[in-house]
């Protein structure tokens, strides 16, 4: 087991090399960089731009620049942001919390609802309730998050019940601590709803399919024949076995934690990592993009790894060696 | 052949129906017919592709038609009655801008403009060849028929959605046309040779699968040259979507090839002296066909969503080309959206197309899976 985890972590190294090299080359090959936009600004003198070029090492050949970046990155120094003039690590650190907060709450809501709904749908297969839920799930997985986000913002404006966009109100700084918590919670309703509906739909479908598969098995019939009560059959015999594929999905979602809400964050103005990345890509803020890609990939691999380990605990039949 | 004989055999034992040989395709179709949701999904898809093929005819106006005096015009109201009485043929009124700030329009009820079918309008060429000027619906100028309102420069949104379907509905199929052959060959070779070749090839595929999808999509799309035309840009986007999609698919094929290559007919083919390439392409890969069809059907909506998200942010298909995603960009400004909620219409088309693909794909999977068949 330990060996397996180690091997998986070792695989991360060539992967990160591949992805960072690719991102670096692509961004460098594209026409223009962050400074070329600055050059158009009459308030910035050519000397300043030349000094910035020097500081960021932009005058060196591509290979040297990449190796320098890599050497620094290994020591967890991801360089400076062109646009914000602060270390990238600071920038990402502050945004990371917001993204993780949004997604963790969204997942918690989704999991708490999706599993019971999935069980309900599987137990009443092809009933009116099941068909309605299945169709709703199809719509849920098919709605782009930017569309549902826009729609909810529109609705929030019309009803005036919820704040439209952002993470905090204008008077946030002056609120007592419980006021701050409430304020953020109020702003989170729309993004959590969007993230939640999207994953509820996917999870519920998986849970329903997995449970239906298990309910056809002989041991479920045996359990019923033994005269066990239905809740015991479902909860102790069937659900326990149907949960495995769901655990795999959990890891996958954990991995997608950083990337999953990127689109939504931009639509509702949530100051998270996804918004940072889109802004950085637009401004060709090279080091921010690179760091966001690295964080995203590491998260994905670690998420999948955690899922595999959890699966080994939940299901004694699963063996890694 | 062996499968068909087997099925006939069980049929005879049951003694109910006269022995009848059905091809796998017939069996699948028989199964699919019992699935009303899947059929409805298929019908929606057929309708959407009809729109793709006949866009010039169905759209009341051309792609670049702009009525500068009627920007952010709300959807035209189809009326059946007014002060002059009831009309069975719907009609519209001509409108003029009343308040440019609030974008309100006033209708002029003195003259009715009747809705007509097969009206003469702007000339076009079907498939770039057949000239024509008839449009499915329209009203006589100077009346205007904006079924889903207009955008900031007075372009008819319904027409642009119809033309946009060409981009949005084909991008998934085009990217599948790259992904599928590539993934099949790659997965086929890895699974067939096994051992170190397999190990190396799958590690490479895993690297691509581990890329954080949307981030990479964004980075790649953002650095595409802006100078190229929007059609070239569309092909580049397709390429990027395919580049990210083939790895997961090849992994699935490899898993199937691993079990298929142990079967007798593969050994027979090898004993007959066929070279490896022929064994893989002619004998092994055809056996993965049904799963490939299903995965392709379920993979296309992913590409549609990917394209629309990219275009929404302005990294995908650009103006003056229209796609459902880039039409929605107009709605991303909240003050604009609040005054002109009809700008959300393209999103409904995205949802309809993706739901249809998903439902149809799931139905197809049940139909092609012999285990899920109900006689």
pLDDT at position A30 is 66
pLDDT at position A37 is 67
What mean pLDDT is predicted for residues A117-122?
A: 91
What is the rounded distance in angstroms from the CA atom of residue A22 to the CA atom of residue B175?
21
Residues of A with CB below 8 A from B211's CB? 19, 297, 300
pLDDT at position B356 is 92
Question: Between A135, A154, A278, which is nearest B218 by CB?
Answer: A278
The reply to whether omega before B320 is within 30° of 0 (cis) is: yes
Question: Between A143, A289, A301, which is nearest B210 by CB?
Answer: A301
Yes or no, beta carbons of B212 and A15 under 8 Å apart: no
Could you give the residue ranges of the DSSP H alpha helices within chain A?
A: 2-29, 34-39, 46-56, 62-74, 88-123, 128-142, 145-159, 177-215, 218-225, 230-232, 239-242, 244-255, 257-260, 262-268, 273-283, 286-314
What is the rounded distance in angstroms from the CA atom of residue B181 to the CA atom of residue B52?
25
Among all residues of chain B, which has the CA nearest to that of A252? B210
Confidence of residue A90 (pLDDT cuts 50, 70, 90): confident
Among all residues of chain A, which has the CA nearest to that of B372? A213
Question: Between B215, B332, B359, which is nearest A262 by CB?
Answer: B215
Residues of A with CB below 8 A from B222's CB? 30, 281-282
Examine the pLDDT at A223 and tell me if it is beyond 50. yes
**Residue-wise over A238-266: b if at least 16 C-beta within 10 A, else e?**
bbebbbbebbebbbebbbbbbbbbbbbbb
pLDDT at position A320 is 63
What percent of chain A is predicted at pLDDT more than 70?
Answer: 93
Decide which of B308 and A168 is more confident.
Answer: B308
Question: Between B219, B341, B347, which is nearest A147 by CB?
Answer: B347
What mean pLDDT is predicted for residues A206-232?
A: 89
Examine the pLDDT at A303 and tell me if it is beyond 80. no
Residues of B with CB below 8 A from A23's CB? 216, 219
Yes or no, beta carbons of A11 and B332 under 8 Å apart: no
pLDDT at position B11 is 44
pLDDT at position B372 is 57
pLDDT at position B7 is 46
Yes or no, beta carbons of A153 and B213 under 8 Å apart: no
pLDDT at position A321 is 56
Q: How many CB pairs under 8 A join A and B?
A: 120
> Nearest 5°: phi and psi at B148?
-125, 30
| Most A CBs within 10 Å, among B41, B199, B214, to test the A interface | B214
> What's the pTM value of the predicted model, to 2 decimals?
0.84
Residues of A with CB below 8 A from B328's CB? 146-147, 150
pLDDT at position A255 is 66
Yes or no, beta carbons of A30 and B225 under 8 Å apart: yes
By the 8 A CB rule, do B153 and B142 touch? no
pLDDT tens per residue across all 375 residues of chain B = 444 444 444 444 445 556 677 777 787 788 778 778 888 999 999 999 999 988 888 888 888 888 888 888 888 888 888 878 888 888 888 888 888 777 888 888 888 888 888 888 888 877 777 787 888 888 887 778 888 888 888 888 999 999 999 888 888 889 889 999 999 999 999 988 888 888 888 878 877 776 666 777 777 777 777 677 778 888 888 888 888 888 888 888 888 888 888 888 988 998 998 888 888 888 888 888 878 888 888 788 888 888 888 888 887 887 778 889 889 988 888 888 888 888 999 999 999 999 999 888 888 887 877 665 554
- A18-60 pLDDT tens trace: 878 877 777 777 666 666 766 777 777 777 777 777 776 777 7
Residues of B with CB below 8 A from A136's CB? none
The answer for A 140-159 residues in CB contact with B (under 8 A) is 141-144, 146-147, 150-151, 153-154, 157-158
Yes or no, beta carbons of A151 and B344 under 8 Å apart: yes
How much is the ipTM here? 0.81
Q: What is the distance in angstroms between the Cα of A97 and the nearest Cα belonging to chain B? A: 18
């Amino acid at each position: 087991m330990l060996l397996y985890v180690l091997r998986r972590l070792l695989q991360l190294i060539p992967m990160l090399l591949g992805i960072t090299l690719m991102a670096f080359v692509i961004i460098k090959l594209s026409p223009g960089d962050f400074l070329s936009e600055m050059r158009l600004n009459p308030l910035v003198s050519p000397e300043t731009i030349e000094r910035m070029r020097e500081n960021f090492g932009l005058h060196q050949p591509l290979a040297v620049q990449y190796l320098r970046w890599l050497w620094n990155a290994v020591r967890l120094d991801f360089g400076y942001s062109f646009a914000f003039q602060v270390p990238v690590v600071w920038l990402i650190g502050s945004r990371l919390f917001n993204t993780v907060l949004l997604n963790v709450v969204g997942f918690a809501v989704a999991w708490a609802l999706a599993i019971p709904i999935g069980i309900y749908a599987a137990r009443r297969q092809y009933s009116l309730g099941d068909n309605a839920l299945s169709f709703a799930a199809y719509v849920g997985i098919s709605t782009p998050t930017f569309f549902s986000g826009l729609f909810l913002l529109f609705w929030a404006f019309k009803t005036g019940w919820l704040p439209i966009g952002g993470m905090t109100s204008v008077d946030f700084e002056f609120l007592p601590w419980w006021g701050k918590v409430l304020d953020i919670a109020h702003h989170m309703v729309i993004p959590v709803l969007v993230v939640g509906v999207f994953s509820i739909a996917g999870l519920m479908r998986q849970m329903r399919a997995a449970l239906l598969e298990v309910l056809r098995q002989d041991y479920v019939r045996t359990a019923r024949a033994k005269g066990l009560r239905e809740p015991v059959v479902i909860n102790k015999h069937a659900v326990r076995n149907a949960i495995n594929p769901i655990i795999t999905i959990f890891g996958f979602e954990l991995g997608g934690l950083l990337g999953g809400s990127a689109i939504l964050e931009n639509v509702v103005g949530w100051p998270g990592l996804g918004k940072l990345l889109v802004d950085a890509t637009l401004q060709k803020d090279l080091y921010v993009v690179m760091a966001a890609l690295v964080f995203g990939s590491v998260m994905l691999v670690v998420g999948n790894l955690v899922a595999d380990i959890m699966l080994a605990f939940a299901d004694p039949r699963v063996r890694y060696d | 052949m062996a499968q068909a004989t087997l099925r006939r055999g069980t049929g005879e034992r049951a003694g109910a129906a006269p022995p009848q040989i059905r091809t796998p395709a017939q069996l699948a179709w028989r199964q699919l017919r019992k699935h009303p949701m899947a059929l409805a999904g298929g019908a929606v898809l057929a309708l959407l592709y009809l729109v793709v093929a006949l866009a010039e005819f169905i759209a009341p106006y051309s792609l670049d038609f702009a009525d500068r005096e009627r920007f952010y015009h709300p959807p035209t109201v189809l009326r059946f009655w007014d002060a002059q009485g009831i009309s069975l043929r719907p009609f519209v009124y001509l409108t003029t801008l009343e308040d440019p700030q609030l974008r309100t329009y006033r209708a002029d009820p003195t003259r009715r403009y009747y809705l007509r079918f097969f009206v003469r309008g702007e000339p076009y060429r079907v498939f770039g060849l057949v000239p024509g000027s008839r449009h499915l619906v329209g009203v006589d100028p100077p009346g205007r028929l904006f079924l889903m309102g207009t955008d900031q420069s007075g372009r008819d949104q319904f027409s642009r959605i119809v033309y946009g379907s060409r981009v949005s509905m084909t991008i998934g199929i085009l990217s599948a046309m790259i992904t599928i052959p590539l993934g099949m060959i790659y997965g086929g070779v890895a699974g067939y040779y096994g051992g170190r070749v397999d190990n190396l090839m799958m590690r490479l595929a895993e690297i691509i699968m581990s890329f954080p999808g949307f981030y990479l999509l964004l980075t790649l799309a953002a650095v595409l040259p802006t100078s190229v035309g929007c059609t070239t840009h569309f092909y580049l986007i397709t390429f990027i979507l395919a580049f990210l999609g083939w790895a997961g698919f090849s992994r699935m094929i490899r898993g199937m090839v691993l079990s298929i290559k142990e079967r007798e007919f593969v050994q027979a083919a090898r004993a007959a002296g066929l070279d490896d390439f022929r064994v893989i392409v002619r004998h092994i890969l055809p056996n993965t066909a049904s799963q490939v069809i299903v995965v392709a059907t379920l993979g296309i909506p992913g590409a549609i969503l990917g394209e629309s998200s990219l275009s929404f942010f302005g990294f995908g298909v650009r103006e003056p080309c229209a796609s459902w995603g880039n039409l929605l960009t107009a709605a991303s400004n909240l003050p604009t959206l609040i005054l002109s909620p009809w700008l959300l219409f393209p999103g409904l088309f995205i949802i309809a197309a993706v739901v249809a693909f998903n439902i149809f794909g799931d139905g197809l999977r049940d139909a092609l899976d012999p285990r899920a068949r109900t006689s």
